[in-house]
Amino acid sequence: MNYNGNVKSRLPNAGTSIFAVMSGLANEVGAINLSQGFPDFPISMELVDLVNHYMREGFNQYAPMPGVLALREAIAVKAFDTFGITYDPVSEINITAGATEAIFCVVTSMIHTGDEVIIIEPAYDSYAPAVELCGGVVRYSSLQFPDYAVNWPEVKSLINSHTKMIMINSPHNPTGSVLSAADMKELDHITRNSNIVVMSDEVYEHLIFDGIRHESVCYYPELASRSFVIGSFGKTFHTTGWKTGFIMAPAVLMTEVRKVHQFVVFASNTPIQHAVAQFLKNKENYLQLPGFYQQKRDMFTGLVHNSRFKIIPSYGTYFQLLDYSAISDEKEMDFAVRITKEFGVASVPVSPFYHDKQDHKVLRFCFAKTEETLVKAAEILCKI
């Protein structure tokens, strides 16, 4: 079909996401796919049965706009039990179509033309486009390579009278770094007595290792009082295809988010919300996650330990960065494509997570895979 009009793109620089590109290549050449972040093992049959149960019981029509109350209540209980914080399920919690919708609604509800948003890079790919669609201006600060620590003096120097939001993400995709208590205090300190809100992307809250505490903004009451906390059951219950997430925020902020959410999706999937509400009642369903994924991380790093790749420690998420500077000086994208085609293992270059495509010669590998997949992938990596 031919369209003959003029299209002035709202997102002129947006192309196909790097996850889709690398997964597409992996499929094309039959490579082991450690690129896109999704588990390749079965999910809980109990959870599947619960969804079936609620479908059969007739929970198939629109959910309430803010989400099924039982799920919002279960999230409030979990937040209180985990962080000791109280969110009102009626006015301060909202269910979304995945964290991606949550991010979009939070940004769209807060950012006006000319408002500045600080993004710490490398960053998840949906943050900047959401800001740009609102006419906002992104200010970038890079994590410091190779330990990916936040450069707080730099973040502070970016703050001015136009700064409206700071986005944080811990545990962090793509690096596997986590924010410490000292980081949170720094964030609290630099945003106190300001009009700056924090968008805290905590989708990997339960994927954290080595006994480290997940430093949610929820532990810091003053900070939480000007923060949006975003979570995703896709990550927590290995169900990325279900696209069910949530936002917690003070009522005044949530009121604004809901004005946007109602016109984006209005409500998200009803039977899944009921099922997740039920499933959350057994805390083990999420408390066992750090051990489960730590075992996978340790297995993967143990298997590639003697390769020529250098392991950059991963403290959370299901991603492991490997530094290939001892193998090649090719650009990340070129090297990632080459090892997918020539050796049959797909990963994701980290450079596309930077607006200026910084290239530190590191690739991201997803270890949310079966033992068999990880063993096969590691055998190949050891030959490169």
Ligand X SMILES: Cc1ncc(COP(=O)(O)O)c(C=O)c1O
Question: Which residues of the shown chain bind ligand X in the complex (CB under 6 A)?
Answer: 37, 98-100, 124, 169, 173, 201, 203, 232, 234, 240, 243, 245
Residue 353 beta carbon to ligand X: minimum distance, rounded to whole angstroms: 10
Minimum CB distance to ligand X, residue 115 (Å): 21
Residue type, 210: D
User: Closer CB to ligand X, residue 124 or residue 300?
Assistant: 124
- DSSP string of 191-259? HTTSS-EEEEE-TTTT-B-TTPPP--GGGSHHHHTTEEEEEEHHHHTT-GGG--EEEE--HHHHHHHHH
Task: List the one residue out of 241, 233, 246 whose CA is nearest residue 279.
Answer: 233
Closer CB to ligand X, residue 179 or residue 303? Answer: 179
Q: Which is nearer to ligand X, 221 or 241 (CB)?
A: 241
Nearer to ligand X, 204 or 220 (CB): 204
Count of beta carbons in the 10 Å neighbourhood of residue 276: 27
CB of 62 to ligand X, least distance (A): 20
Instruction: Give the nearer residue to ligand X in terms of CB position, either 99 or 196.
Output: 99
Q: How far is the CB of 245 from ligand X (least distance, A)?
A: 4
Alpha carbon distance 274, 63 (integer Å): 10
Query: How far, in Å, are 151, 267, 270, 330 from residue 96 at the CA level?
Result: 31, 7, 11, 40
AA identity, residue 114: G
Of 124 and 220, CB closest to ligand X? 124
User: Cβ–Cβ contacts within 10 Å for residue 364, how many?
Assistant: 29
The residue (of 300 and 319) whose beta carbon lies closer to ligand X is 319
**How many residues would you count in the chain?**
384
**DSSP H helices in the chain:** 18-29, 45-56, 69-83, 98-110, 127-133, 152-158, 181-191, 221-224, 233-236, 251-264, 270-279, 284-287, 289-304, 332-342, 371-381
**Smaller CB separation from ligand X, 83 or 124:** 124
CA distance 365 to 174: 9
- What is the closest distance, in whole angstroms, from the C-beta atom of residue 169 to ligand X in the complex? 5
Question: How far apart are the C-alpha atoms of 187 and 152, rounded to whole Å?
Answer: 8
For ligand X, which is the closer residue by CB, 232 or 347?
A: 232
Find where tokens 């803010």 sit: 66
Shortest Cβ contact with ligand X: which residue?
Answer: 98
DSSP H or E run through 349: strand 348-349
Give CA–CA dist 261/264, Å, rounded: 5
Q: Which tokens sit at 28?
A: 């094309």
